[in-house]
Amino acid sequence: MEYKGTLLERLMSKYDRSSNQEVVAASILNYIDIILNTKKGTVASIPEFGIDLQGNPTSTQYDIGVRISKDIENQISKFDPRVQKVSVAYKGTDSNRLNKMIFEVNALIRIDDEEFTISSSLSR
């Protein structure tokens, strides 16, 4: 029996592209969650990976949120090449838990010759 294409190409051809987008979007959002929950300097092989939670003691919650949102943008841009045009906005704190910060992430995802956008709220 003769096959056309590689095994990976044959397997990928069976998947609907829309479901592939959902899988990729979920993977990227999971990765962003990992970034949010990793303190910068704790990954020995990549010391610059993670979010720097050290701040000026006189900074307001808003200033800290804006700085962390920029740090998240930089981390995503640096460590996930699938993500293009990422923007992260600090949206404040959870009214039930003041130490829980909320961020909105918007990004353009480019895979092969296909592009799609993701938008999600994340909390830390």
Domain that holds residue 60: 7-123
- On average, the pLDDT of the chain sits at 79
> Would you say residue 5 has pLDDT above 90?
no
Segment 51-78 shows an average pLDDT of 84
* Domain-located, residue 2: no
Residue 43 lies in a domain: yes
Give the per-residue pLDDT at 115: 84
Is the pLDDT assigned to residue 19 strictly greater than 70? Answer: no
pLDDT greater than 80 at residue 13: no
Q: How far apart are CA 96 and CA 99, in angstroms?
A: 9
Residue 68 CA from chain centroid, whole number: 13
Residue 24 lies in a domain: yes
Q: Are residues 123 and 100 in contact, defined by beta-carbon separation less than 8 angstroms?
A: yes
DSSP 8-class letter at 96: S
Better pLDDT: 33 or 91:
91
CATH of the domain at 29: 3.10.450.40
In a domain, 75, yes or no: yes
Q: What is the pLDDT of residues 79-106, one digit of tens each?
A: 888 888 889 999 988 777 666 888 898 9
Q: Confirm whether pTM is higher than 0.85.
A: no
